[in-house]
Structure 1
Amino acid sequence: MATTYADSAQAREWDRRYDAWGRDKRPQPHEFHDYEAAEQLRTQALADRAVRAIEERKSLRRRIGLAMVQMETICPPNGGAA
């Protein structure tokens, strides 16, 4: 019995809010979260992050190589292990 009363009270409150605002009583699509679109955005963000990580690794490898070349011009290797 309490559930029925709560449901009907909630329904009356819903109707009152929408009537007070002068809006249609049907649910509006913009009021709900689109879980599928959010999941697609999350998947795309993960893919973009993976691509960016690969590019950063390539860039880091290039920068380390350039730094090593600069170090060898300043301090050339002796030709053997120390």
Structure 2
Amino acid sequence: MATSYADSAQAREWDRRYDAWGREKRPQANEFHDYEAAALMLYQLLDERRDRELIERKASAKRVAGAVDQIGEFWGMRKKP
């Protein structure tokens, strides 16, 4: 019985049926998932997202600080420079 690629019952049944037809099994290139490449891509996306969020937080902090300064100046709580 040919179960070189998996141990599941479904894989063994597929092997049995395919071998019974007398055809050679040829693995297709798209049957296998490259988990390492997928994990690397995920880590890169997470790094990019983290960097983008940091930039957005810094920009938001500047906008909030500017708005607070304007409110303070309007109500006379802070002198204009």
TM-score by length of 2: 0.64
TM-score by length of 1: 0.64
Q: Deviations over 1:7-57 (max 9, x none)?
A: 4x542323478x6xxxx7311121221101110111101111210121012
Aligned-residue RMSD, C-alpha: 2.8
Tell me which structure has the larger Cα radius of gyration. Answer: 1
Percent identity over the alignment is 37
User: Which residue does 2:15 correspond to in 1?
Assistant: 11
Unaligned runs of 5+ in 2: 1-8
User: Which residue does 1:29 correspond to in 2?
Assistant: 29
Matches within 5 A, 1:1-82: 7=12, 9-15=13-19, 25-77=25-77
Q: How far apart are the structure 1 equivalents of 2:61 and 2:76? A: 21
After the TM superposition, which segments of 4 or more aligned residues of structure 1 sit over 6 Å from their partners? Answer: none
| Deviation of the 1:78 alpha carbon | 7.3
Unaligned runs of 5+ in 1: 1-5
Higher relative contact order (CA 8 A, sep 6+): 2
**Residues matched between the structures, number:** 68
